[in-house]
């Protein structure tokens, strides 16, 4: 016998932003899917249920007209299924080929990281959010997309406005206004360079889109670049910060990784499991269905809480603990199924093989500032928003 989706009304939205994990634990224990009034969304929080959902796109569709992503960014391939999703993904594939990443993007990302860490090394303390992670992610993404040079803060501001808009489940009018302005600004930046990419094909994402066969229509280019700016900037930015935070909070693990550099990729995977940068994304139920004993009605909007699933105690031992030595298990930080993140390998390269190893190698005795603790925030997107550190000059 199945039961209806329970409703929870006594959760403060601010608590979701500040520390969602106790709430996620409560929701996991309550039911497979729970309607959370402050979020105005039915949330799925268990690892196995989310895996099941992602393996059944016919029942749990990414094609979701009511999605805030569609409202802010337009109809992206991330909100499509089947052939439509595959066509959009194929159009950007040339920019993400392993050979292109290794031969074209890796040297560029390494040069960006070296310049930023050179600037850092002249001091003895900084907030790594603004001094490293945000500019690193922004400048790298700017190059990959194929925009003209602009201050890194511009792309970072657009990204934040867009992801705030995509996660604006509290329906804040100010958040929506900023998101729509960022959307218009991105359109203008795209329009300014399209002819360049048509006339001179190159490894950039915009070039891949306009030179695809057939070329992606302008509405698709605009929408898909916006979704790439959102996830493609905040995910590596927050992964850098989370990985550094996890290691600095546990000197024993830090020393283990520094002593065995082959552990860097493992440390990154644990970091994005521990605090998943992309914490939730929506799906639409296409028919009445039973999810582990709870009835989900047709057209129900659900949110897949990756940040909750990656701390599911039925999947991971001591799930709230950052543990580089954790037995190897797959996680959901990069998604699953047909919508597995296209930028996964770029993120793994940038964070786990370039930025974090270079940072610890160049800044001697890197450590947290005890008097200024870091701040981690968010639930739809989550990561450190400040990471004050000190090192020996």
Do residues 331 and 310 touch, judged by C-beta distance below 8 A? yes
Do residues 12 and 19 touch, judged by C-beta distance below 8 A? no
Strand, helix or coil for residue 282: strand
Domains, the chain, with CATH or none: 7-390 (1.10.630.10)
Do residues 275 and 241 touch, judged by C-beta distance below 8 A? no
**pLDDT at residue number 85:** 61
Separation of alpha carbons 112 and 149, rounded Å? 13
In the numeric block, the tokens 């699933």 are attached to: 309
Nearest 5°: phi and psi at 127? -95, 110
DSSP characters over 159-216 = HHHHHHHHT-TT--HHHHHHHHHHHHHHHHHHHTTHHHHHHS--SSHHHHHHTSSSPP
Give the H/E segment covering residue 272: helix 264-274
Q: Chunked in runs of 10, what are the mean pLDDT values of the chain (393 residues)? A: 90 95 98 95 97 94 76 66 68 88 94 97 95 97 95 95 81 89 95 95 94 88 90 91 98 96 96 96 94 96 97 97 95 79 84 96 95 95 96 92
Provide long-range contacts, Cβ within 8 A and 24+ apart, for 104-109. Answer: 104/203, 105/140, 105/143, 105/144, 105/203, 105/346, 105/349, 106/349, 106/354, 108/140, 108/143, 109/140, 109/349, 109/350, 109/354, 109/355
Do residues 376 and 320 touch, judged by C-beta distance below 8 A? no
Give the H/E segment covering residue 375: strand 375-377
């Amino acid at each position: 016998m199945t039961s209806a989706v329970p409703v929870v009304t006594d959760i403060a939205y601010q608590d979701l932003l500040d520390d969602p994990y106790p709430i996620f634990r409560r929701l996991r224990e309550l039911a497979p899917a729970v309607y959370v009034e402050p979020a105005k969304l039915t949330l799925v929080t268990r690892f196995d249920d989310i895996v099941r959902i992602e393996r059944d796109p016919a029942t749990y569709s990414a094609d979701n007209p009511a999605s805030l992503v569609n409202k802010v960014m337009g109809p992206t391939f991330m909100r499509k299924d089947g052939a439509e999703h595959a066509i959009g993904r194929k159009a950007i594939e040339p920019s993400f080929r392993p050979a292109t990443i290794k031969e074209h993007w890796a040297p560029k990302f390494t040069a960006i990281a070296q310049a930023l860490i050179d600037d850092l090394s002249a001091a003895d303390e900084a907030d790594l959010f603004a001094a490293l992670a945000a500019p690193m992610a922004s400048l790298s993404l700017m190059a990959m997309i194929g925009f003209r040079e602009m201050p890194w803060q511009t792309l970072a501001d657009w990204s934040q406005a867009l992801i705030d808009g995509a996660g604006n489940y509290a329906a804040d009018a100010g958040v929506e206004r900023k998101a729509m302005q960022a959307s218009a600004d991105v359109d203008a930046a795209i329009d300014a360079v399209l002819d360049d990419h048509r006339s001179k094909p190159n490894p950039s994402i915009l070039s891949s889109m306009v030179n695809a066969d057939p070329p992606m229509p302008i509405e698709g280019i605009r929408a898909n670049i916006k979704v790439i700016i959102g996830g493609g900037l905040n995910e590596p930015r927050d992964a850098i910060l989370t990985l550094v935070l996890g290691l600095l909070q546990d000197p024993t693990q830090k020393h283990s990784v520094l002593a065995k550099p082959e552990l860097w990729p493992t440390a990154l995977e644990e970091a994005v499991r521990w605090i998943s940068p992309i914490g939730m994304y929506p799906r639409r139920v296409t028919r009445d269905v039973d999810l582990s004993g709870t009835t989900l009605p047709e057209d129900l909007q659900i949110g897949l809480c990756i940040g909750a699933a990656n701390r599911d105690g039925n999947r991971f031992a001591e799930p709230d603990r950052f543990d580089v030595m954790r037995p190897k298990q797959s996680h959901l930080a990069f998604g699953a199924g047909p919508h597995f993140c296209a930028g996964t390998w770029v993120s793994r390269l940038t964070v786990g093989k370039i930025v974090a190893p270079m940072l610890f190698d160049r800044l001697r005795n890197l450590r947290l500032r005890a008097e200024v603790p870091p701040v981690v925030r968010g639930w739809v997107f989550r990561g450190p928003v400040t990471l004050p550190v000190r090192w020996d000059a």
